[in-house]
């Protein structure tokens, strides 16, 4: 321990608070710079910085040489805990940030570059400090944003990757409205959802960014973004236990959707769930130091409580056949109609236009349909205009009244005061009905397909049922980010198949969802009991493909396809197929194989694709091939996202491509511990 550290330790033990100028008086002058640098790089670096701040804030002024030595020491810091404490101390001092913020930023970026290969977790700590300086405007953000621009997430150290989603999320909180900055950051978040150590946080931050974008969008776009955000929150919850943050936002989004559908029961349930989650999170965080840069997140979470109370109170007033206290009722409704910035539950969102256009149609239509309520609104508007001290701002009342009049008198001129000129509210009555009654179905099916659906549904009750199914289905079965990635990749790669449309596509999507989840579960499953066929085997004792065939058949039988699955079906392409999945006259065939020597994608296709493709020659040109990989795995196994892909085969003389989804179940593997000597 250097002499300066001894002084720091002694004064801390004594409860003293000396300045750096007082401490260095007792040290040799010729080695002072080196001593300060080494102390700043050591375990008491945060105490040294605290002493330096006292010197800076006192009458003695700042010694530039001492500050430079501290910054060089920070670059050499090797303890993440000390580095974090040091950054907190320095950034809590406005005078230090104002005078030496650029130098600190340079030191942190240098420390990041020096630690990225040797201590990646420490490198993330340096990058966090540099980002915090950029967020408060002490430095330009270009260098830190460049460091957050990830070229290949698969090459990142897992510990480093794990910290990145939170940093990217903080950057989007600050610069999310600048597309030139936000677009590459969103691309990074999207890619990090494929990295196991970062997947849960990246999925949450991706969902939060969707919500942030929805807050600034017009009706139809905001709707799709909100529902997609809800799906991401569900995926984050499924990917990691105790994701109270994701559960909290999920409950809030449920409440918004419940308000748009006038579902008082769901609104109350969401409000209670959110209240419980907030209480739980505040109990966990009580007494902990929350850095200033992370407090906007907490404020946004608390804003949900206020927003849900506003929506609940407004829903109560809208459900009343008559207002006993007109001013109180209108105040509650206007609070939901003109959302205040303080109740925007989205960090980094500067306005609530997107949320307003979600809740406003319910308010407008309800009042327009209730003659007594509309009369109350007209009377209150005139009374407020004629009063020197109106109970409610007459301009707000007039805005609401004008909007309702436009709905009943001038349907072509329907636009909110805060909406952009590209508003979607001039769309057809059928689309407006979809936005109001079945927004989740609209978001999931797209406008064209959803409009075809609504044309055949006259009853609003049936449309409400469709909406409930679509909304719940969007997130209830969320198994985690990587399964979604596999599933969505398969969907994209099947687009060129001429049979992959309509109901056939819906049916095959169900089968591919089951395959993706099956592969994910078997990739993690402990190899005991009925799953022992995946364990290493003795020479000559390799399990047959029957074990995988029975396992996959049992899996399909227990899922949503129960009753549609058959084993060993004869008279298919003159042969017998391993598994058949039937949806009426539409049938899909699954071929099961095992591979002992070469399980590369190319060899599996070369060896087995033609047989698998031949089975689908008399029905939809879509099938599956599931392979048990029993090759040697002495250096590890393939990543989950590499276990499924789409391939195709066209026989000589044929003009029809036959598409086969290949899934690989890795066997002949031991626990990760077996790879260690």
The closest alpha carbon to 109, from 74, 78, 80, belongs to 74
pLDDT of residue 411: 40
Residue segments in the chain with a per-residue pLDDT below the cut of 70: 1-2, 59-62, 216-220, 287-293, 321-373, 376, 391, 400, 403-404, 406-428, 432, 435-437, 439-440, 443-446, 453-454, 456-465, 467-480, 526-529, 559, 677
pLDDT of residue 588: 95
The CA-to-CA distance between both ends of the chain, in Å, stands at 37
- Residue 512 phi, psi (nearest 5): -70, -35
Per-residue pLDDT tens digits for 606-663: 999 999 999 988 889 999 999 999 999 888 889 998 999 999 999 999 999 999 999 9
User: Given the structure tokens 């064209």, which residue do they identify?
Assistant: 448
Alpha helices in 286-428 (DSSP H): 295-319, 326-337, 353-369, 371-385, 394-409
- The DSSP secondary structure of 47-106, one letter per residue, reads HHHHHHHHHHHSTT---HHHHHHHHHHHHH---HHHHHHHHHHHHT-HHHHHHHHHHHHH
Q: Which two tokens stand for residue 412?
A: 């072509």
pLDDT of residue 582: 92
pLDDT of residue 415: 40
| Cα–Cα dist 159/180, whole Å | 28
Cβ neighbours of residue 470 under 8 Å, at least 6 residues apart? 438, 440, 441, 444, 445
Cβ neighbours of residue 146 under 8 Å, at least 6 residues apart? none
| Cα–Cα dist 129/88, whole Å | 9
Q: Where are the domains of the chain?
A: 427-478, 481-675
pLDDT of residue 417: 39
pLDDT of residue 418: 39
CB distance 59 to 21 below 8 Å: no
| Cα–Cα dist 37/234, whole Å | 48
| Cα–Cα dist 471/489, whole Å | 22
pLDDT of residue 242: 78
The closest alpha carbon to 12, from 38, 43, 41, belongs to 43
- The DSSP secondary structure of 472-526, one letter per residue, reads HHTTTT---HHHHHHHHHHHHHTTT-TT-SHHHHHHHHHHHHHHHHHHHHHHH--
Exposed, middle or buried by CB within 10 Å (0-12, 13-18, 19+), for 654? Answer: exposed
pLDDT of residue 361: 62
């Amino acid at each position: 321990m250097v002499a300066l550290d001894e002084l720091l330790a002694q004064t801390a033990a004594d409860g003293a608070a000396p300045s750096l100028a007082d401490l260095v008086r007792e040290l040799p002058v010729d080695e002072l710079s080196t001593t300060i640098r080494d102390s700043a790089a050591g375990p008491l670096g945060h105490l040294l910085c605290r002493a330096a701040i006292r010197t800076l804030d006192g009458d003695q002024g700042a010694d530039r040489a001492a500050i430079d030595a501290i910054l060089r020491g920070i670059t050499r810091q090797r303890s993440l805990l000390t580095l974090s404490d040091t950054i907190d101390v320095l950034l809590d001092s406005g005078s230090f940030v104002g005078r030496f913020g650029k130098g600190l930023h340079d030191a942190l970026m240098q420390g990041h570059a020096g630690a990225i290969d040797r201590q990646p977790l420490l490198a993330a700590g340096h990058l966090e400090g540099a980002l915090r300086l950029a967020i408060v405007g002490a430095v330009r953000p270009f260098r830190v944003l460049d460091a957050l621009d990830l070229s290949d997430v698969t090459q990142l150290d897992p510990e480093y990757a794990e910290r990145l989603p939170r940093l990217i999320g903080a950057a989007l909180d600050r610069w999310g409205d600048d597309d030139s900055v936000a677009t590459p950051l969103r691309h990074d978040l999207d890619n990090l959802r494929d990295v196991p150590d970062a997947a849960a946080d990246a999925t949450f931050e991706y969902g939060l960014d969707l919500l942030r974008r929805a807050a600034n969008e017009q009706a139809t776009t905001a709707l799709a973004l909100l529902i997609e955000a809800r799906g991401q929150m569900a995926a984050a919850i499924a990917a990691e236990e105790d994701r109270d943050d994701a559960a909290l936002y999920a409950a809030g989004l449920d409440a918004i959707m419940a308000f748009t559908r006038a579902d008082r029961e769901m609104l109350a349930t969401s409000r209670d769930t959110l209240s419980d989650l907030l209480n739980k999170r505040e109990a966990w965080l009580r007494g902990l130091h929350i850095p200033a840069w992370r407090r906007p997140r907490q404020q946004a979470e608390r804003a949900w409580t206020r927003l849900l109370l506003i929506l609940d109170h407004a829903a109560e007033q809208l459900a009343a056949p008559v207002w006993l206290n007109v001013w109180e009722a209108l105040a509650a409704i206007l609070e939901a109609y003109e959302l205040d910035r303080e109740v925007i539950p989205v960090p980094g969102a500067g306005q609530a236009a997107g949320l307003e256009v979600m809740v406003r149609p319910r308010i407008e239509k309800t009042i327009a349909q209730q003659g007594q309520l509309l009369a109350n609104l007209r009377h209150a508007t005139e009374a407020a205009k004629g009063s020197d001290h109106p109970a409610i701002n007459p301009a707000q009342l007039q805005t609401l009244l004008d909007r309702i009049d436009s709905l009943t008198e001038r349907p072509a001129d329907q636009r909110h005061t805060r909406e952009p000129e590209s508003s979607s509210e001039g769309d057809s009555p059928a689309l407006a009905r979809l936005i109001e009654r079945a927004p989740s179905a609209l978001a999931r099916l797209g406008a064209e397909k959803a409009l075809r659906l609504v044309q055949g549904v006259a009853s609003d009750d049936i449309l409400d049922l469709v909406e409930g199914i679509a909304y719940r289905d969007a997130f209830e079965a969320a198994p985690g980010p990587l399964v979604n990635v596999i599933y969505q990749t398969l969907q994209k790669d099947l687009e060129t198949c001429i049979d992959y449309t309509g109901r056939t596509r819906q049916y095959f999507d169900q089968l591919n969802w089951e395959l993706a989840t099956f592969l994910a579960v078997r990739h993690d499953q402990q190899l005991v009991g009925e799953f022992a066929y995946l364990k290493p085997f003795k020479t000559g004792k390799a399990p047959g493909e029957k074990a995988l065939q029975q396992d996959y058949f049992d899996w399909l039988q227990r899922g949503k396809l129960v009753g549609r699955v058959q084993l060993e079906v004869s008279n298919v392409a003159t042969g017998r197929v391993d598994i058949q999945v039937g949806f009426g006259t539409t049938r899909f065939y699954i071929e099961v194989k095992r591979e002992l020597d070469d399980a590369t994608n190319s060899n599996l296709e070369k060896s087995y694709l033609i047989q698998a493709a031949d089975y689908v020659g008399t029905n939809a040109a879509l099938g599956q091939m599931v392979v048990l990989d029993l090759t040697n795995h002495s250096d590890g196994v393939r990543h989950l996202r590499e276990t499924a892909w789409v391939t195709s085969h066209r026989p000589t003389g044929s003009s029809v491509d036959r598409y086969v989804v290949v899934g690989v179940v890795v066997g002949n593997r031991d626990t990760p511990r077996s790879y260690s000597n």
